[in-house]
């Protein structure tokens, strides 16, 4: 139980900082999604999970930019 408490605290500190930098943004979004889904599973919060998951989409790249980035890179650069 102590380990999970420290893990949640570490994630809560990492997510805002990770969202700020583009290099760590994917990891921060994945961490935030898993954290909020785990909170929903264990605490059964009514609307909190959905609001947080929708707000995370603000930090994602538009799909056209993402697709163009993948297309423009050579296969060995992925």
Q: What is the pLDDT of residues 68-77, one digit of tens each?
A: 665 555 555 5
- The sign of the dihedral angle between the CA atoms of 60, 29, 47, 37 is positive
Q: Which structure tokens are listed for 38?
A: 């785990």
29, 32, 31: which is closest to 49 by C-alpha?
Answer: 32
Asked whether 12 and 6 are in contact (CB, 8 A), the reply is: no
Q: What pLDDT does 37 receive?
A: 85
- Mean pLDDT, to the nearest integer, of 49-59? 80
25-51 pLDDT, tens digit each: 888 888 988 888 888 888 877 887 788
4-27 pLDDT, tens digit each: 889 889 988 998 898 888 888 888
């Amino acid at each position: 139980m102590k380990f999970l408490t420290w893990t949640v605290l570490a994630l809560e500190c990492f997510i805002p900082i990770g969202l700020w930098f583009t290099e760590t943004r994917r990891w921060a979004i994945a961490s935030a999604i898993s954290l909020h889904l785990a909170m929903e599973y264990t605490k059964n919060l009514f609307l909190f999970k959905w609001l947080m998951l929708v707000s995370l989409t603000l930090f994602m790249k538009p799909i056209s930019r993402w697709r163009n980035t993948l297309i423009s890179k050579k296969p060995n650069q992925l």
